[in-house]
Amino acid sequence: MSDVPTLQDWVRFHGTFNPDPERHVEKVEFEVEANDAVSSTDGIDRNPVYFTDIQFQSGNVLTGWTPNTKEMMKQLTWTDDEKQNVASPNEFEGNEPTVYENVKKRWFNLMGRGNTTLVVPNYLPEDWEVPILPTGLDITLYPKEDFDLCRVCTEAGTKLPEEEWHYKDIIDEYREKEERGGGYAEYRNLQRVLSLFEDHPLHYRHTREMWFEGAEAGTEILVHANTRIARVGDNYLDLIQRKPLDLNGYTYPVQIEGNKFLIAPKGSTRFRVEFYKKKTLELITEDEDGNRVKKEYSYLEDVGVGFHGYASFFQWTYGREQY
């Protein structure tokens, strides 16, 4: 061995014991005992013996240079008793209430129309004392009408700086015309533009977002964090989002750092479902020569597309090994 120990010089020793769960470790004493070994080969130079940390670890899998994550989380199961709140006596014409054992996943029906905020609860009503950990959220949606753009995102977010607004050019155009003294007609055009675009929901970005190009009514949309599947119909999503979205010939430059799946922390989780359709704005304005002309602008609008679907997720608590 060289004067300074290298990684290959170290030898790890380990053992197991069953501690008393009612007691805590206050101090550790140990001694090193070497058998069939010498500290030098010439009787003069003494080679030192190095030792490093002592680690206590719960669980069945030993952690090495790569941490063991297998036992950090424990999947929860529970019993779903449909008979619990059934009035008695009662007669059932169809399927009778059932008791389901070892249930592993929560399911919630979703429905809405237009841009909608939805809430799902990540808690364990069967035992309120159990610590609950964040989990991946699986969302499945079915739109009731054709759409040109869909965004599924968290509720938390913020408005972009004005220079990054997608519809800034239209707003600036009519601000300049109104400032040049365009009269009541241009003032009215500006107010119309501001009402549509100044607080447009696509001028907001959220902490986690998934963007989908348009599809027909009834097309299945998946945002499944547990299997890392995101698709609309048979078209899988580009999670990195390298290029702008092509919305039936209308290019929308999505300024995001990749699509992100949604997670559900402990408690109530709010997320948004947004559907947009391409619309045309027509304005009567003046050109550079003062002639009255009609100008058209394509934009995306929430027109109240209805949808239904469901959200589901597994639930987790701390395992035997937390670190």
pLDDT over 90 at 58, yes or no: no
Give the Å distances, CA to CA, from 299 to 114, 196, 247, 281: 16, 9, 11, 7
Q: Is residue 152 within 8 Å of residue 271, measured between CB atoms? A: yes
Reference 187, options 88, 285, 288; nearest CA is 285
Confidence of residue 123 (pLDDT cuts 50, 70, 90): very high
> Bigger pLDDT: 190 or 16?
190
> How far apart are the C-alpha atoms of 284 and 167, rounded to whole Å?
18
pLDDT over 90 at 102, yes or no: yes
- The one-character DSSP state at 7 is G
pLDDT over 70 at 37, yes or no: no
Q: What is the pLDDT of residue 35?
A: 73
**In sequence order, what are the residues at sequence separation of 6 or more whose Cβ sits closer than 8 angstroms to the Cβ of residue 173?**
none
Q: What is the C-alpha radius of gyration for the chain, rounded to an integer number of angstroms?
A: 31
The segment with the largest mean pLDDT, out of 62-76, 201-215, 232-246, is 201-215
Tokens of 275: 């559907």
Element (H, E) at 106: strand 105-113
pLDDT, tens digit, 9 for 90 and up, residues 220-270: 999 999 999 999 999 998 787 666 666 655 566 655 566 899 999 999 999
pLDDT over 90 at 93, yes or no: no
| Domain boundaries, given as residue ranges, for the chain | 135-316
Q: Is residue 211 within 8 Å of residue 259, measured between CB atoms? A: yes
Q: What is the pLDDT of residue 257?
A: 62
Question: Can you point out the beta strands (E) in 287-315?
Answer: 292-301, 306-314
Q: What is the pLDDT of residue 11?
A: 76
Confidence of residue 189 (pLDDT cuts 50, 70, 90): very high
Reference 152, options 70, 71, 261, 77; nearest CA is 261
